[in-house]
Every structure is written in structure tokens, then in C-alpha cells.
Amino acid sequence: MMEALRLLLVCWLLFGLEPVPAQVRHPLPVLWMMPAGSVSGGGNLQAGVATAVRLALEDLKKQAAPLGDYEIQFHELDSQVSFSDSSPSLSNRKWYGNLFSTVPSDRVLNQATVKLLQRFKWTRVGVISQEQPRLSEVKKDLSRQLLKADIQVVSSESFSDNVCSSLKRLKERDVRVIIGHFEEESVSEVLCCAYRLNMFGARYQWLVVDGGTSGWRFEKQVPGCTANSLLMAADGSIKMQMRRLGNTKTPGISGRTPQDYQDSYVRRLTQEGSKVSPLHSFAYDAVWVTAKALTQVMEAVKHREKYSSRRNVSLSGEEVQKTLLEAVKQTQFEGVTGSVFFRNGERMAAIDLIQFQGSSGVSVGDFSTSTQQLRLVNHLLKFPGPGPTRDRTLVVVQRQHVSFLLYGIISSAAAGTIFITLALLFFTAICRKHRPLTLSDGSEDELLLLGVLMSSSSILVSGLDGATWSLWTSELLCSVRLWTVSLGHTVGFSVLFIRTWRLHSLCSVRHKPAGRVLLLLLLLDVSLLSTWQTVDPLRRVELQLRPQSVPAQDELVQMFSESCSSSNMQLWIAAVCGSKAPTMALGCLLAWSVRSPGRPQPLTQCVVAVTTFSVSGLLASLLTAHNPPLQLGVSGVLVLCCNLFVLGWLFGPKFLYGDDELGDKEEEEVRGRSLSGLNLQLWSHNAQLDSDIETLRLQLCEATQPKLQRGTRGRDSGGLRSVTWSHAAQVFSEERSPAWDPLSPDGINSPEHVRRRLSVQLPILHHSYLPAGGVRASSSRMFWDDSYFLFPDQSDGGCDHVTEE
């Protein structure tokens, strides 16, 4: 990573110096702070810096006056710590007002990174940083700059040992643009984890903030990854690094071009056997900054001593410090690293953008810290995909709406149903003019057709796209849809329920409060809907659906739909359905009880069908609320099929047979079903009555006990048969005259009178409970045969007190 050189310049000025001959160079002592042994240690990387410093001192000797009049003498001091810190915190002028850095700060690398993000419009990034004090400062500064630029940091991870776990967390957060802060030694390990997690290629973009200038070298072998794997993971990545050599071919202040200096430095380094330092060019320019600043100060002192009125007054330490700071601030020249000048203590320089392509890095642009401008060479940029990656999965927002084709099909079917319903209403009205109709014939048909008309009209309203209307209009359409479908269902099913109830009760409609039942159900529905509309009105709301991934296009389709809803939608739906459920359940039970096996019954089948369609339509509407096209298709088909079933099954036969014939058939069928039910009831009463009559006969026989003798003439001999009653029947308890004979023809207990009473009273009582179809022979025999009561047979259960003489 990036390193920086700090030269603490302490000028030891001896005021009142003795004059020196012009041919002798004036010595200027300077304190040079570096780790002990770094200059002389050939094996140390910092030895390459000392080589650049000696080369700069040699070039200074060749300069003309005034630079050639002074000799910089460095005095080494062991810093014990690294002198190459480039932390962004050193840019704080309140704390480090006298510090000037000849190496650009890491802060400018973050500036270049932010400019690159803005160029490609990347507003969503992730950061991964190695746990080091300097890199932590760089990471904090980057976060501040990203926040200022309104760029979202999705996740910021740090690692020390396990890099893969940190990268895995970035992948889980769908981070596509990754900014990395890590040392050069960790590059191979990071890229290996990126390769294992498949975090490279067209879907990912790596931006590495590199404080060094040596580039990436994949010399370190990582278990599980080959060299080709690392090259594949690094392909397309962009690294921000400081420019170590200028790109001009014009000689600078030293008389050397950047390339000329580079060649001389390499030759000298080869002779000394030292390693190349990435900071050697900055050390070379730092010597020239020191020389120019001190020369300017010394020339100012000479000018004062010669021409100023205060030439006999020595300069104070504060004045010298101020003069030296102003000299450094005003320093500007063309060095081997480019234009050298300072702004707020920071070296203005250029940041190179190196893109790793194939197996090498290609310079694709630069960033100027002085102008804050980013320059990209577009034809040199090469990305693994068709272009720059997206900073996130592309989310395509789509609204689910009812297509024109689907709405055209459903609305056409609904319009056809409405037309048929209106035609049937007209047909019913014509029939009412030709013959007077009762409520069961005319008014109920009109109410049923009205319910079908309202429910069919709700389909036309449901398919309208609310996005094309204003908010008020959309909410009004929601209410119209709710009212038409609910009231239409209530009116239509109430008519079917009343007819089924009438058939079950076997009574004329004039004796049943049908109008009251319909009015009660309608008022209940209107009350619930009015309360719903007042307390919690329907609103047009958006429903976010589950995103659908399109891996081939690296897209995520986010669907949303608009529907009518309220705050307590489920509660209101439960209340409305709860008010309708008992009526529908009772209607189905009544339809089941009056069914005729083996014979189709339009009324009972319509009740069951409407109930089935209603429950299915409600479930379909609730389950498909997130998908308006599917909801319209399923619920619309169910509603229209239900309406067409009712129209075809109840009103279709009227067109085939005519209204009068169909009415007669219906009346005959109802009358036949009524008589059949009554016949079953009377048969049960008849059996009970037979038992009661038999008991009464026995009681009469025991009560009379007559002493009657009667002679009869035989059919063959003409003889007389006589019957003697054991005692006179005591029917009345009042006293009788001695002359009164109970067996006389005028007596109340005479056989003639008893026969007449039984033949008149008992048959009337018996016939009132007889079943349709006649009287059983076993029961009618005793009503018309005198001998059954007067001369009972022993086999028929005759009285024990009747004797034959």
C-alpha cells in the first residue's frame, strides 16, 4: 500500500554569519529523521530512499546560483518508528500546522474513489478493510466522504485472519461494488476468497485503494487457489495509486526528465545492490523542496542584512519559522513526480487509475488533486460484462394490472349476461299485463332478476384500472363494486330462500310473510355495508409482491398491485359473510328436505348451486387478492356462471313451455307434493283412529248389555231369530216412566237410534282423518252394516253380553 515520506526540516541559522567567499557553498544543516540503520542497510527497503537522496544532492551541486550556493547537510536521527505515515489525520492543520507532506495523503485516494463512483453512478457500495491503525483511519475518512457524496455504504467489514467470512457477509447483502483497503501482502488471500465465493466477473466491481505504487504481485501462494484463479478474480478490478513518475518529456528543475531520473536511479541502485523503494521519486523531489525553501529563506536574510534598515537586528526564531513556512507554501516547480506544490500542507499530485486486464495493469485514467477532475480513457476500459456492473441487482418495478384483452373478454360475458337479464325482465313485465300474478309469480321473478343484474354489473366495475382514474374516483369504484355484489347476492338468494321455504311449509304464499323475510335480510345487509362505509371506508392501496429473480439478465422483478382495502378488511368481510351464512345454510337444508329423488328440481338445484358458487367466489377472491388479473378472471367466471345457471335453470323452461303451461305444471307439482305429504300424515292418523273406534265400540257394548229377543225367519225355512239383551243401555241417568220401553222403536237406546248415531257421527269423524284415495274396507264396514253393531261376529271382537236365542 501507499507509503509517505516525512522530512522534518530544522534550519539552523547562525545569525551574524561571517562572510564566505563566493566560490564556497554555504552549508545548510537539516535534520533527517529515519529508522536507525535504514540508510546504510543495503538489504532494507528504505535504503532505496537514501540512494534517491544522494542522487538529488549530487544534482544540486550542478545548479547555478542561488541553489548552487548552498549545500544541504543532512543529520540523521533515529525516528524509532515509521516515517512514512500517510494517515488522513495528518492533514488536520489545527494539529499539524507546520507539517508538509511531499507524498500525497491517503485522503486524496479516497477523493479519487468517490469521483470514480460518481462517474459510473454507483450509489451503493460495500467496504472491506484490513485491521490496521493506518487503514482504519483511511476507512473512516472514506466513510465521511461517501456520506457527503450521498453514497450508501451497505456494509463495512474488517478482517484480520478470516477474509472469506467478511466477503460472505458482503455477498449476503447483495453488494456489487466493493472498495478494499488492504496491504499488498493480503491481495492474494482476498482475491482467493473472492474466487471461491464467485464474487468476480460481470456482476462485481472491485475498487482497491492502494497507498503504494508497486502494483499487485501474486507471488504468495494461497491454498485452494491457483495463479489463474487469482488472475480471473482480479480481472476488471481498478486500483487507485499515486503517480510516482511524471508523464512529461520536458526536463524539470533538476534538468532531468522523469524517465532520465528513473534510469539513473536504477543504475545507481544496481551498483549499490539495494532494493527499489516505491517512495524514491518522492524522496528525490523532497530534497529539492528543502533546498528551494531554505535557499529562499537565506536569500531573504541576505537581502535584509544588505538593504533593510533593521539589518543590525537579529531575526527571532518565530520570524525565521514564519519565513520558512511561507517559503514552503510558495514552493512550486516541475519535479520527477510531476508538478510539486502544496495546498493546506498537502502535496498536490495525480492519482493513477490502473485496471487489471488479463495478466497486467493498464492505466485507464487519472485524478488531479489540484483540479479535483477525473479523466478516463474510455476505449481502454474493459469490463468482464457488456459494460460497467450495476451497483445492485436491477429491480424492475412492474404493476400488475388487468390487461385490455382479459377485461374485454370478461366484460363482454358480463354484458351478455346483463342483456339476457334485461330481456327476461321485459318478458316478465309482458306476462304481468296478460294475467294477474301473485308475489310468487311476478314480483319474486323481478327481484331475482334484479339481483342477477346487480351482481353481473359488479364484474364491469371490478375490471376497471384504478391507476387511470383519480383517487376519489378509484375509491368510489371500490364502494360501488362492494355494494353491487353484496346487495345483488342478498336479493337473489333471498328470493330462492323464500320459494324453498314455501315449498317446505306446503302453504300458500299469502299465508307466509315472504316480503318481511326479504326486507329483513336486505336491511341487515344495508346496515352492515353502511356501517363499513362510514367507519372504515375502502381505499386504494398498493400491495408489494414477492420479487422474482431473472438470473439471465441479472434482474429482480418487483411486482406490486393495487386493490381495494380498509384498515380492518378481514373483520368487515367476516361480518358480512357471517350475516349471509345462516340464510344460505338454512336454504340448503330446506332444499335437501324437499328434494325428489330421480327428478330434477330447478329450485333446489339453484339454491345449492348459488351457495356453492358464492363460497367458491369468496375464497377465490381472497386467495387471489394479490393478483388482480387472476382475481378478475376467477371471480368473474364464478359469478357469471352462477348467474347464467340461475337464469337458464329457472327461466329457461319458460321460453320452452310458455309461462302459463309452466305455471300449471309447477302448481300441479306443488299440489301433488302437498297431497303426497298430507296422505302420509293422514295414514298415521287413520291408524290411531282405528284403535280409538275399536275401543269405543267395546265400551258401547259393555254399557248397553241389552236383553233382547228377536225372531227372524230363515232364508230357507222362514223361521224367526230372536236376540235377548241382558240389560237396557243406561245412556241417560234421568228417571224414566214405567211405561217407557228402552227397546221400543221410540226409545233413545233402540237399535235404530244407535245405528243412526254411529252411521252419522263416527264416519264424519273418521273421514276427517282419512287419507286421500278412499276408506279401508276393514274400517268402513262397521259404518254401513247394521249387523256389525247389533249382531257382531265373534271373529270381529263382538261383545260378550250379546246372546243369540
pLDDT for the residue numbered 86: 66
Rg (CA), the chain: 58
* pLDDT reported for residue 709: 42
Sign of the dihedral defined by the CA atoms of residues 524, 525, 528, 529, in that order = negative
DSSP 381: -
Angle between helices 280-307 and 258-272 (to 10 degrees): 110
Report the C-alpha gap between 278 and 210 in whole angstroms: 12
803, β-bridge pairs: 724
Residue type, 455: S
**What distances in angstroms separate CA 145 from CA 108, 153, 317, 331, 527, one per listed residue?**
11, 11, 39, 29, 62
Contact indicator for 720, 713 with CB cutoff of 8 Å: yes
Q: What is the DSSP string of 205-219?
A: EEEEE-S-SS-----
Alpha carbons 314 and 319: distance in angstroms, whole number: 10
Pairing of strands 124-130, 152-159: parallel
State how far the Cα of 461 lies from the Cα of 639, in Å rounded to an integer. Answer: 13
User: Which pLDDT value is given to residue 217?
Assistant: 65
Rounded to an integer, what distance in angstroms lies between the CA atom of residue 673 and that of residue 678? 9
pTM of the predicted structure, to 2 decimals: 0.61
Around Cβ 638, how many Cβ atoms within 10 Å?
20
Over the chain (805 residues), what is each successive 10-residue block's mean pLDDT? 36 38 71 61 62 90 85 77 65 74 84 94 93 84 92 91 90 92 85 92 89 57 84 91 87 91 91 82 89 86 72 67 85 90 85 89 91 92 89 83 89 92 84 55 78 91 79 87 91 88 61 68 91 90 79 78 87 91 89 74 86 92 87 91 89 64 52 60 72 78 56 42 39 42 53 56 47 42 41 40 36
pLDDT on residue 734: 40
What pLDDT sits at residue 602?
Answer: 82
Length of the chain: 805
Using left for φ > 0, alpha for ψ between -120 and 50, and beta otherwise, residue 198 falls in: left
Backbone angles phi, psi at 126, to 5 degrees: -130, 150
DSSP 199-264: --STT-EEEEE-S-SS-----S--TT--HHHHHHHHTT-EEEEE--S----S--TTS--HHHHHHH
Strand 124-130 with 177-181, pairing: parallel
Q: Which residues pair with 75 in a beta bridge?
A: 31
C-alpha of 793 from chain center: 93
What's the pLDDT at 543?
83
pLDDT value, residue 418: 92
Q: Which three cell numbers stand for residue 609?
A: 348451486
238-242 and 350-357 strand pairing: antiparallel
Q: Which amino acid belongs to residue 791?
A: F
DSSP secondary structure of 462-528:
HTS-GGGS-HHHHHHHHHHHHHHHHHHHHHHHHHHHHHHHHHHHTS-GGGS-HHHHHHHHHHHHHHH
Whether 103 and 4 have beta carbons less than 8 Å apart is answered as yes
* Per-residue pLDDT, 184: 79
Torsion of CA 519, 521, 526, 531, to 10 degrees: 130
pLDDT of residue 670: 53
